[in-house]
Structure 1
Amino acid sequence: MTETHPSEMLRALTAGESDTIKIIGLQHAPFDDHLIHIDLSDIDLALMPQPRLIDRGHGLMYDRLRDITWLQDTNYARSSGFDKDGQMTWDRAMSWALRLNYRGIKGWRLPTARNPDGSGPCIGDYCHESELGHMVHDLFGHASPGLQLLNFTPFSIFWTSTEASAADAFGFKLSLSRQGALPKNPWDLGTGSDEMVLSDEIRAWPVHEGDVGSRLHRVIGLPRRWKAKWLG
């Protein structure tokens, strides 16, 4: 395998291409039902195609293929006030994800760059077997109807939990499904300046094992007169 200097990989990950894939959000793949009409009375609805990414409410999305839960907010570090813009070094992102308490749910982590069987990580374009690659290739377009990502921009690089070396870790560029190693502190490349301008934002998007969103219940607001009657 040809070695690539971290600074070169960073430039490759953040380079803009004319054929960049623009991902606006998540939309359920529609059915072409204008050509035929089906009588559903004789069909077991349990056998009908189900969304691969399920909206669990409360800002949680469940990947039923990998049995993992994602935050709907792709920049929750900023939304929660933890970081002013959500761009963090790898060490800070790892620490934040591990300590995250979202609606009482703990045990979060950064997504892995490795394949489901533990092999890899894939390096280069269209790395679709990692957890972030799986999100782009297998879940985008197959989500619950109306489900949208929050604070999402396709021009982002998301940290993974997978280290490449003592100084580098793997990141994933959504717009090209490009995965590779970059310095754990991308803003300090040993040039004496921390003002390197990046064309992509470097963020952290936590994930959790299992369907943790199913533990939460939707809160239904009752009319005031009902509350008064029930509470006496």
Structure 2
Amino acid sequence: MKKKYLILSMVLLMCGFTVSSQAALQDRGGGLIYDEYLDITWLADANYAVTSGYDDDGLMTWSDAMEWADTLEYAGYPDWRLPDITIPCEGIVGCTVSSEFGHLFYVELGGTPGQPISGDVSYFIGIQGGAYWMQRTFPPNPEYAVDFDFSRGVPGVNPKTHEAYVWAVRDGDSAPPVVPEPISSILFVTGGVALAGKRYFKRKKTGN
């Protein structure tokens, strides 16, 4: 086990996975965190399924996780999904450094192989110290899917009937919806301006 984490550490260093070189998170407000390096937007709440009341403990089978992400609408955006592997990979090391979760864990959050990341970290809240589903089915066996374990910083493969946490992401930059000014406030402001103007011209006319 220690040898595996040592190899992983070496690969991460060779790939330039350091926080100082590529960290690119931007807080867009409204619970939206943009990663300009990967050009994706994360939910700031890593356990939103619980926060929103959708699920009691945030743990779901892969099919339920896919449905949750597919039907999620947040900040006016309906196109959320589960994180994915960014380029084709082979083996646990390759899938670690080429996944959106791997980039987040090691580059943006400064994770260490074999060490957990959980709780409120950086721009995020509610990170669970366990496995999160990815949307990728395991090619050798379609009954299995890929996940990423935040207690160790490594991907894994589990039956789709297994339960893991869920974290939503969407492609591209995102901004929270603009809240329109209440009509009452607009009328108050415009009414005040009109009244002030009327008084000004009245004083000017009377010479006061």
Answer yes or no: same fold by TM over 0.5: yes
Matched with 2:103 is 134
Kept in 1: contact 2:42–2:170 (CA 8 A): yes
Kept in 1: contact 2:25–2:36 (CA 8 A): yes
Unaligned runs of 5+ residues in structure 2 are 2-18, 111-120, 193-208
Decide which structure has the larger Cα Rg and report it.
2
Secondary structure at 1:77 match in 2: helix
Q: 2:174 aligns with which of 212, 218, 228?
A: 212
- Report matched runs for 1:20-169 at 5 Å: 52-112=24-84, 114=85, 116=86, 118-123=87-92, 127-140=96-109, 147-153=122-128, 155-164=129-138, 165-169=141-145
The 1:103–1:81 alpha-carbon spacing in structure 2 relative to 1, beyond 3 Å, is: same
Letter in 2 for 1:152: I
Kept in 2: contact 1:74–1:152 (CA 8 A): yes
Give identity over the alignment, percent: 35
Highest relative contact order (Cα 8 Å, sep 6+), 1 or 2?
Answer: 1
Instruction: Provide runs of 4+ in structure 1 moved above 3 Å.
Output: 219-222, 224-227
Separation in structure 1 between the aligned mates of residue 67 and residue 185 of structure 2, nearest angstrom: 47
Matched with 1:183 is 159
Letter in 2 for 1:111: P
Separation in structure 2 between the aligned mates of residue 149 and residue 169 of structure 1, nearest angstrom: 25
- Under a length normalisation based on structure 1, what TM-score does the superposition of the two structures give? 0.61
Q: How many residues are aligned here?
A: 163
The 1:126–1:166 alpha-carbon spacing in structure 2 relative to 1, beyond 3 Å, is: closer
Q: Give the Å deviation of 1:229.
A: 2.6
Q: Give the Å deviation of 1:177.
A: 1.6
Letter in 1 for 2:147: G
Kept in 1: contact 2:33–2:123 (CA 8 A): no
Unaligned runs of 5+ residues in structure 1 are 1-11, 13-28, 31-48, 188-201
- Under a length normalisation based on structure 2, what TM-score does the superposition of the two structures give? 0.67
Separation in structure 2 between the aligned mates of residue 121 and residue 103 of structure 1, nearest angstrom: 36
Matched with 1:172 is 148
Q: Give the Å deviation of 1:121.
A: 5.0
* RMSD of Structure 2 on Structure 1 (CA): 3.3
The 1:76–1:119 alpha-carbon spacing in structure 2 relative to 1, beyond 3 Å, is: same
